Amino acid sequence: MAYSDQASWRSQVLQGMLWLCCAIGVPTAVYVLATHSRGVMQPATLMALMLIAIVMLTALSRRWPFTLRAITLIGAIYLSGILSALYFGFTVGTGLLMLLVVVTCGLFFGRTWLYISLLATGASLAGVGTLHVTGAIVTQRLDLTDLSQGQHVLRVTIAYLVLAGTTAMSVSYVVRRLEQSLSETSEALTQYEAERRERAKAEAALQESEETYRHLVENINDVIYATDAHGTLTYLSPAVESHSGYKPSELIGEVFFDFVYEEDRPRIMNQFADILAGHLKPNEFRVVIKSGDIRWIRTSSRPVYRDGHAMGLRGVYIDITEKRCLEERLRQTYKMEAIGTLAGGIAHEFNNMLAIILGFTELTQREVSAGSVAGTHLQHVLNASHRAKDLVTANLGVQPPK
């Protein structure tokens, strides 16, 4: 496992231990310097002051790599323990300092280095004890004369190893559980962050879609509407105001059928029920707008389902009044054209019959005398036939056959 500043909890623990060492060491250094008499400073005292200075520098150097700072702290604690063993002997403080070295190694570098540091500190204490026993060094404490016995040194070293080993295993277990917990927490946080990003992305896409839909609805000329299952209007797009004169807020909550032209209302109510039942087809009918005018509209709608039941309609309607007027004019034009064609055909037939009447009348008139009663009657027939011919020509524009 690689250890770096990315292990934030280790960095925080390390920084806390550095500041704690500074809080203990700085007052001690100040006291030693204030009470030290002029002359040559003892090597142990000088070494202790140097260790305090190194720890202070490490605490202030936050940009140093985690490994370097951790090794510096562990080294300072280890050297402090060695100085304590050399100068004071096997005291409780010496054992605690060595034990702290083991715990710190396990905390910052894992179980392997925990066991290595356990063996190293045990060997160091045994070595210092040997120096005491052989008389190579002499402690200033008067109650350590029993250290001249090698068996006692061995017992102290073994006791330290047992105590430190037990503590080391406890620390190893705690660190392992802590790492496992942090790993699970980190995975959960990573998953949560991924879900949060996906949710934020989905929300952004949804918001963009809603804005696009809203922009489309607000700018389209056709009216988008929604009703419940009873025909009550629940939504109307802004375009309804230009079509009917009503604002959407004036119509929402009203029953749609109330605005349908009275003659068309029964048919539309039946068709509304048919659409709810799934029989889809467009409808054309008349509505009464705010000004009182009657307008033709064409609707296209679909039912909205919830839990398998139709809850209402959603659709769109367009104003087809102009279209209906144009269609009516076109029908009238076709009708007049048909009438004209029919009249033209009748006129031709009528002219043909007039030609026969005129021809036979003129022939008959030659057979009678000019002043006779029959001649007078035939002249009346000729005059009436000519007037009929002129009437057809003038009103229908059909020329009689020559």
CATH no. for residue 284?
Answer: 3.30.450.20
* Residues 165 and 77 both lie in one domain: yes
Q: Taking a C-beta distance cutoff of 8 angstroms, is the pair 217, 260 a contact? A: no
In percent, the amount of the chain with pLDDT more than 90 equals 17
Which pLDDT belongs to residue 138?
Answer: 55
* Residues 82 and 176 both lie in one domain: yes
* Residues 179 and 304 both lie in one domain: no
Q: Which domain holds residue 349?
A: 341-396
* Residues 263 and 150 both lie in one domain: no
Q: Taking a C-beta distance cutoff of 8 angstroms, is the pair 124, 115 a contact? A: no
pLDDT at position 30 over 80: no
* Residues 167 and 38 both lie in one domain: yes
Higher-confidence residue of 16 and 151: namely 16
Which pLDDT belongs to residue 158?
Answer: 66
Q: What is the mean pLDDT of residues 331-348?
A: 77
Higher-confidence residue of 303 and 138: namely 303
User: Which structure tokens are listed for 68?
Assistant: 């370097």
Q: How confident is the model at residue 4 (pLDDT cuts 50, 70, 90)?
A: very low
3-state secondary structure the chain: CCCCCCCHHHHHHHHHHHHHHHHHHHHHHHHHHHHCCCCCCCHHHHHHHHHHHHHHHHHHCCCCCHHHHHHHHHHHHHHHHHHHHHHHCCCHHHHHHHHHHHHHHHHHHCHHHHHHHHHHHHHHHHHHHHHHHHCCCCCCCHHHHHHHCHHHHHHHHHHHHHHHHHHHHHHHHHHHHHHHHHHHHHHHHHHHHHHHHHHHHHHHHHHHHHHHHHHHHHHCCCEEEEEECCCEEEEECCCHHHHHCCCHHHHCCCEHHHHECCCCHHHHHHHHHHHHCCCCCCEEEEEECCCCCEEEEEEEEEEEEECCEEEEEEEEEEECHHHHHHHHHHHHHHHHHHHHHHHHHHHHHHHHHHHHHHHHHHHHHHHCCCCCHHHHHHHHHHHHHHHHHHHHHHHHCCCCCC
* Residues 37 and 176 both lie in one domain: yes
Higher-confidence residue of 333 and 245: namely 245
Number of domains into which the chain is organized: 3
User: Which structure tokens are listed for 316?
Assistant: 């769109």
* Residues 48 and 143 both lie in one domain: yes
CA 251 to chain centre: 33
User: Which structure tokens are listed for 92?
Assistant: 């409780």
Q: Which tens digit of pLDDT belongs to each residue from 116-167?
A: 888 888 788 777 777 766 665 555 543 444 444 555 556 666 666 666 666 6
* Residues 133 and 237 both lie in one domain: no
Assess if residue 214 is contained within a domain.
Answer: no
In percent, the amount of the chain with pLDDT more than 70 equals 80
Angle at which helix 66-88 crosses helix 43-60, to 10 degrees, equals 160
Assess if residue 331 is contained within a domain.
Answer: no
* Residues 100 and 20 both lie in one domain: yes
Mean pLDDT estimate for the chain: 79
Of the candidates 6, 5, 118, the one whose C-alpha atom is nearest the C-alpha of residue 70 is 5
Q: Which tens digit of pLDDT belongs to each residue from 46-65?
A: 777 787 788 788 878 888 88
Q: What is the mean pLDDT of residues 12-28?
A: 82
How far apart, in Å, do the first and last CA atoms of the chain sit? 121
Q: Which tens digit of pLDDT belongs to each residue from 189-231?
A: 888 888 999 999 998 888 888 887 777 777 788 899 999 999 9
Q: What is the mean pLDDT of residues 331-341?
A: 80
The structure's pTM equals: 0.43
* Interatomic CA distance for residues 399 and 27, integer angstroms: 136
Assess if residue 58 is contained within a domain.
Answer: yes
Higher-confidence residue of 367 and 37: namely 367
User: Which structure tokens are listed for 360?
Assistant: 């036979």
pLDDT at position 313 over 90: yes
Which pLDDT belongs to residue 3?
Answer: 41
User: Which structure tokens are listed for 213?
Assistant: 């839909």
* Residues 150 and 19 both lie in one domain: yes
Assess if residue 314 is contained within a domain.
Answer: yes
**On the CB side of 6, how many CA atoms lie within 13 Å of its CA?**
6
- In terms of average pLDDT, the best of 1-5, 383-387, 389-393 is 383-387
Of the candidates 256, 242, 280, 261, the one whose C-alpha atom is nearest the C-alpha of residue 324 is 261
Assess if residue 402 is contained within a domain.
Answer: no
Q: How confident is the model at residue 6 (pLDDT cuts 50, 70, 90)?
A: very low
Assess if residue 188 is contained within a domain.
Answer: yes
Which pLDDT belongs to residue 226?
Answer: 93
Which pLDDT belongs to residue 219?
Answer: 73
pLDDT at position 234 over 90: yes
Assess if residue 35 is contained within a domain.
Answer: yes
Residues in the chain: 402
Which pLDDT belongs to residue 83?
Answer: 81
* Residues 108 and 165 both lie in one domain: yes
* Interatomic CA distance for residues 137 and 292, integer angstroms: 118
List C-alpha distances in Å: 289 to 28, 220, 222, 286, 364. Answer: 95, 20, 16, 10, 72
Assess if residue 203 is contained within a domain.
Answer: no
* Residues 157 and 245 both lie in one domain: no
